[in-house]
Structures are given as C-alpha cells and as structure tokens.
C-alpha cells in the first residue's frame, strides 16, 4: 500500500503501484524517492509515517516525520518534512 501525506486528502490509502493519489492527485513519492506505507502516529502538530527508500536496491524502511506548521511559517502550506533514516 502507498499512503498520501497530504493533510487535506480525504482517502489517503492507495494501491502500491500508483504514482499519484487517486483521491487528491498528490505525488505518492516524497522527493521522488520515499514511498509512504502507513501512518505510525500523530499529534496536534506532527505525523510520523513508515516509509520505504525506493532509491536503494535493498529498499530499507525508514520513518518520516511531517511537522504541521501554520501556513505563514511553512512555504508549501502542507508541513515540513524530516526523514530519519533508520531501519525499523
């Protein structure tokens, strides 16, 4: 499965082979490299996802944390992304 990280997406779950979200049209690859598999947790100002690094032959898993900021503090309006690369 691939998961859309657009906070406004109504139906974020997608089939593994899809490149764009069937609900909102957002790309399902972060930085054209990381495929989000599922949400691990969320709080009032952030969400944490399980992801796969599709750029590496071994396709290691990693976590990605999306920080939700106010629109005036975030360039894209959808949050800042930090990737913590470690195998789960």
Architecture per CATH, 2-84: 2-Layer Sandwich (3.30)
Identify the segments of the chain with pLDDT beneath 70.
70-88
50: left (phi over 0), alpha (psi -120 to 50) or beta: beta
- How high is the pLDDT of residue 84? 54
- How high is the pLDDT of residue 3? 97
Rounded to a whole number of angstroms, the distance between the first and last alpha carbons of the chain is: 17
Distance set, CA 87 to CA 10, 61, 78 (Å): 29, 5, 26
CA–CA distance, 68 with 29 (Å, rounded to integer)? 19
21: left (phi over 0), alpha (psi -120 to 50) or beta: beta
- How high is the pLDDT of residue 80? 46
- How high is the pLDDT of residue 52? 95
- How high is the pLDDT of residue 69? 72
- How high is the pLDDT of residue 17? 86
- How high is the pLDDT of residue 88? 47
């Amino acid at each position: 499965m691939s998961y859309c990280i657009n906070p406004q997406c109504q139906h974020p779950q997608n089939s593994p082979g899809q490149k764009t979200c069937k609900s909102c049209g957002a790309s399902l690859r972060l930085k054209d490299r990381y495929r989000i598999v599922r949400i691990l947790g969320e709080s009032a100002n952030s969400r944490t996802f399980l992801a796969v690094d599709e750029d590496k032959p071994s396709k290691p898993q990693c976590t990605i944390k999306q920080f939700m900021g106010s629109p005036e503090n975030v360039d894209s309006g959808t949050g800042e992304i930090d990737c913590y690369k470690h195998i789960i």
